[in-house]
Amino acid sequence: CNFTRDAINTYNSWKDKAAAANQATVNHCIWDNNRITDIGSQLRCEKLISKNVLYVSQFLNDNGELLSYMPFIRKWNILGMDLPTTDYASYKLAIRRFHNPSSRTSNISLVDPEISLSYLTNSLRTQVVINGTCITVNSKKIRDKMANLDTPDLLTPIKVWENSLKARNPNFNFVWSTVFNNLFYKSTNHHKLIQSHYKILHRISTSRYMRHKMGIDKDGNICSLCDSGQLETLDHIFIDCSVTADFLSQVSNFIIKHVDLNYEDTARSYLFTLSHPDPCVNFINISLTWFLSRSLQTKVAPKFPVFLRTLNGLLLGEKHIISQRMDSILSSELGLVSAAR
């Protein structure tokens, strides 16, 4: 279709612009990318792909520097036998050459805001040029600006989600600035959950459809869980997939039983906006979207008992108002699950 063609052409144009300017961004997919190569050979590692390690940014530490071998495998829970040091050295060199083709030893220390974040940063006024030098965009600044943005509903991905949600519930009418404020500051202490949900809202979380277009998923772009024959897009995963719907129904019954007797979210409003008055419901929902995304990326149907155990593990370091209640709820529920097995 025209949209798919335009999207792929735009992505390829973006890659070419980044490489031509010698200002590679951290948002590029490293696999099967003719711009990121091991002396001309494209890179591909099925083990890292199965762990959802796809982008240059996932090879960097918080300072924007390439991770050394041991911190990298610890970060992504990878066995040494699955990733030889020689392979990892090739990936690092390929990333360095991509960042600066004129040097084989240059490390990544800069993020190119003009390309990778131009739309977001320009609209949020996070780019500052002093004496011709562009100040590096900081993720905390982006988060704070996004939380304080009065009109996030004007962003294209938010408009798309709002249309999808209104199709299920014509009365859907949430204040998106409040949604982002809740996401960043009230939903959870876990950054990975916040980041995952943020990517979903901005429609930059990957689906099988997009991974297939990027050349990562070679098997196809149809939903790997249900038998609908539909493309596995974000809308299909979270709204239309019958397997997802069954799983969400189990989670809703859990919420009704333990947290809110009147809970109902067939329109997926609370799931996306995290705007339920009870913080435990919002914590369950943000954990759910992360768990569901991870399940789909590994092509494994989401299992409710596995989700409960995952939820229990996420309580470590969580906000006290959430962890105290959820610990009691999950202790009894996991006991029942264990007894049933």
Residue 102: DSSP 8-state: T
pLDDT at 135: 56
pLDDT at 116: 37
With left for phi above 0 and alpha for psi between -120 and 50, is residue 39 left, alpha or beta? left
Residue type, position 244, single letter = T
**Residues with Cβ within 8 Å of residue 50, at least 6 apart in sequence:** 298
pLDDT one digit per residue (tens) for the chain, 341 residues = 555 666 656 655 655 555 544 444 556 788 887 778 776 678 888 888 888 888 888 888 877 788 888 889 888 888 888 888 878 888 888 887 777 654 433 333 333 333 333 434 444 445 555 456 665 556 666 667 766 777 788 888 888 898 888 888 888 787 888 888 889 888 998 888 998 899 899 888 878 888 887 777 778 889 888 888 898 889 999 988 999 999 999 999 999 999 999 999 988 999 999 999 999 999 999 999 999 988 888 888 999 999 999 999 999 888 889 999 999 899 878 765 444 44
Q: What are phi and psi of 237, to 5 degrees?
A: -60, -50
Q: Give the SS3 label for residue 201.
A: helix
Q: How many CA atoms lie within 13 A of 265 on its CB side?
A: 30
Q: What are phi and psi of 42, to 5 degrees?
A: -65, 150
pLDDT at 107: 37
Residue type, position 272, single letter = F
Distance CA 135, CA 113 (A): 9
DSSP element (H, E) containing 38: strand 37-38
- Residue found by looking up tokens 């066995």 in the block: 79
In terms of residues, how long is the chain? 341
pLDDT at 260: 94
